[in-house]
Amino acid sequence: MSTADIPEGTVRNILEQDTLKWVFVGGKGGVGKTTCSSILSILLAQVRSSVLIISTDPAHNLSDVFQQRFTKTPTLVNGFSNLYAMEVDPNVENDDIGGNEGVDSLFSELSNAIPGIDEAMSFAEMLKLVQTMGYSCIVFDTAPTGHTLRLLQLPSTLEKGLQKVMSLKSKFGGLISQMTRLFGLDDEFGEEAILGRLESMKDVIEKVNKQFKDPDLTTFVCVCIPEFLSLYETERLVQELAKVEIDTHNVIINQVLYDEEDVESKLLKARMRMQKKYLDQFYMLYDDFNITKLPLLPQEVTGVESLKAFSRNFISPYQPSTSRGTLEDVERRISTLKLQLEDTEAELDRHRKGKQKV
């Protein structure tokens, strides 16, 4: 089926789904995830009471896109009354998590014993903090695909790890109590303190894990560009999301070249033909998805005003220029073509005279 036969998609379905709590935006590196997640958060802020956008990519770009400094504390975005942003590193140290030194040292040992649980526990603490803030919707600007998939698996990783630890309670609970009494440690490092913290974290993780797998509460937006590697990475991402039971029904294809009436470059024409081949494949693979195409621009989209201006392409399909312009534009174009023709004729004349001399 040709792309011309398929109606253009938008992200209106996400804006209209007022039950959504978590919106993840991800894809291959360099496809424009941060720009897309920022614009999504701006659009959501227009229909929601409060929105938080979180960057979980260690190479944070939110500050660059909004042209405003963000930290690990939610900060109100300039020009908004209900849009907040924060940049966090999922691999935070135990010092950032906070808590009793003795308990933290035990958690450090625990993280070494169960692969991936350290990152999972940091993620859990961040989600626990976010949930207490009462935001209507939370948008995640995620790291490139591999890191994102691991991040989405963290709730399950932690849930399994904590179940394993809790199952050892009957075997080692008494031993912990005896050791704390023997060394004269206070109740803060006792069995109840440790198990209480584990139980609290387990409750948060079970709740989040359940929410992530609920399509009414969570969705994942795949961002890509019309090239082979990005198509391959998107398919891998969609397959992995299906495995972890996370809903996804939106694909944003960025940096699309449109056949504008004034495009004459052979390179651009060749790139358009290549892109069309992969666009057809995207539509074939994801015929039941909302596919939004975004144009490649001659400049970067940074700053709130630029983001707002570009956001119109998210809610109504981009329309390439097909008009021939004003009479002055046509006359200017004819004049340029005449000059090109004169130059070509002069060059041809020189070649003919050169052959006659020989």
pLDDT at 95: 47
Q: Could you tell me the pLDDT band of residue 109, with boundaries at 50, 70 and 90?
A: low
Q: Examine the pLDDT at 164 and tell me if it is beyond 90.
A: no
Specify the range with the lowest mean pLDDT, choosing from 34-43, 288-297, 340-349. Answer: 340-349
User: Is 221:234 a contact under the CB 8 Å cutoff?
Assistant: no
What pTM, to 2 d.p., does this model score? Answer: 0.75
19 is in an annotated binding site: no
Beta bridge partners of 55: 87, 141
Q: Binning pLDDT at 50, 70 and 90, where does residue 293 land?
A: very high
The pLDDT of residue 28 is 87
pLDDT of 53 strictly over 70: yes
- 79 carries a ligand binding annotation: no
Residue type, 347: E
Please report which confidence band the pLDDT of residue 191 belongs to, taking 50, 70 and 90 as the band edges: low
Residue appearing with tokens 């253009």: 8
Per-residue pLDDT at 142 exceeds 80 = yes
**Is residue 5 annotated as part of the catalytic site, yes or no?**
no
Asked whether residue 132 is marked as a ligand-binding residue, the answer is no
303 assigned binding-site residue: no
Residue 82 has pLDDT above 70, yes or no: yes
pLDDT surpassing 50 at residue 147 = yes
Q: Which of 5, 57, 186, 343 is catalytic?
A: 57
Joined together, the tokens standing for residue 28 give 């291959």
32 labelled as ligand-binding? yes
254 annotated binding-site participant: yes
- pLDDT band at residue 253 under the 50/70/90 scheme: very high
Mean pLDDT value across residues 7-18: 86
Q: Please, are residues 38 and 83 in contact by the beta-carbon 8 Å criterion?
A: no
Q: Which of the given ranges, 187-191, 208-212, 224-228, has the highest pLDDT on average?
A: 224-228
Mean pLDDT of 39-67: 91
Q: Average pLDDT over the chain, rounded to whole?
A: 79
- At residue 357, does pLDDT exceed 70? no
Give the pLDDT of residue 206.
76
- Does the pLDDT of residue 176 top 80, yes or no? no
Q: Is 180 flagged in the annotation as binding?
A: no
Q: What is the pLDDT of residue 276?
A: 94
What is the average pLDDT across 117-145? Answer: 74
- pLDDT band at residue 122 under the 50/70/90 scheme: low
Q: What is the mean pLDDT of residues 227-241?
A: 93
Q: Three-state SS across the chain?
A: CCHHHCCCCCCHHHHHCCCCCEEEEEECCCCCHHHHHHHHHHHHHCCCCCEEEEECCCCCCHHHHHCCCCCCCCEECCCCCCEEEEECCCCCCHHHHCCCHHHHHHHHHHHHHCCCHHHHHHHHHHHHHHHHHCCCEEEEECCCHHHHHHHHHHHHHHHHHHHHHHHCHHHHHHHHHHHHHHCCCCHHHCHHHHHHHHHHHHHHHHHHHHHHCCCCCEEEEEEECCCHHHHHHHHHHHHHHHHCCCCCCEEEEEEECCCCCCCCCHHHHHHHHHHHHHHHHHHHHCCCCEEEEEECCCCCCCCHHHHHHHCHHHHCCCCCCCCCCCHHHHHHHHHHHHHHHHHHHHHHHHHHHHHHHC
